[in-house]
């Protein structure tokens, strides 16, 4: 019975192992050409872009409003985006994070949970740390700084 099922699966086109071409290791020149064709994007470049967006939002809040709470809220919104991102980038670029596939997977999960936890804690502390907090300004700055991640995908290209 199992042989009939196996034959049926193979004849239906579900036997992917038979259709895949063999894996060919790259030569040194091919590997270098691949690296040039698709370079890696540094997480620190993304963090720097988030800092720039946060500063621009703070300048916009200062320019268009006479309320100091708007500027402080914009700065804090940028910090809420940048600080957890920098913490995760530091953890992910650590030498220990890339020892093996298993340690890399655990590292991604650990630093993601850490990033989310720090972000939530900072948002909960916002009313205590920023005296005249403007939630709309802070959240708008936070969202724009987080959109840098989408722009970073465009930097990489296809």
Q: What is the dihedral of CA 88, 90, 92, 96, to 10 degrees?
A: -140
Any idea which residue has 């040194």 for tokens?
Answer: 28
pLDDT at 4: 47
Whether residue 1 has pLDDT greater than 60: no
- Model confidence over 54-97: pLDDT tens digits? 999 999 999 998 888 999 999 999 999 999 999 998 888 877 76
The mean predicted confidence, pLDDT, of the chain is 84
Predicted TM-score of the model (pTM):
0.73
Distance CA 65, CA 71 (A): 8
H-assigned helices in 20-100:
28-37, 43-64, 68-92
Distance CA 53, CA 50 (A): 5
- Model confidence over 129-151: pLDDT tens digits? 998 999 999 999 999 999 998 98
The 10 Å Cβ neighbour count of residue 48 is 14
**CA 13 to chain centroid:** 37
Whether residue 30 has pLDDT greater than 70: yes
Whether residue 25 has pLDDT greater than 90: no
């Amino acid at each position: 019975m199992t042989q009939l099922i196996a034959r049926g699966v193979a004849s239906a086109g579900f036997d992917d192992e038979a259709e895949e071409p063999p894996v060919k290791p790259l030569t040194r020149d091919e590997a270098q050409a691949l690296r040039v064709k698709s370079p890696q994007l540094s997480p620190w470049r993304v963090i720097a872009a988030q800092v720039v967006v946060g500063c621009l939002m703070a300048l916009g809040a200062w320019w268009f409003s006479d309320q100091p709470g708007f500027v402080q809220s914009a700065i804090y919104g940028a910090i809420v985006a940048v600080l957890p991102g920098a913490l995760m980038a530091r953890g992910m670029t650590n030498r220990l994070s890339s020892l093996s596939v298993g340690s890399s997977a655990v590292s991604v999960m650990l630093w993601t949970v850490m990033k989310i936890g720090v972000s939530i804690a900072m948002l909960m502390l916002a009313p205590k740390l920023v005296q005249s907090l403007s939630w709309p300004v802070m959240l708008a700055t936070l969202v724009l700084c987080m959109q840098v991640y989408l722009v970073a995908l465009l930097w990489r290209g296809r």
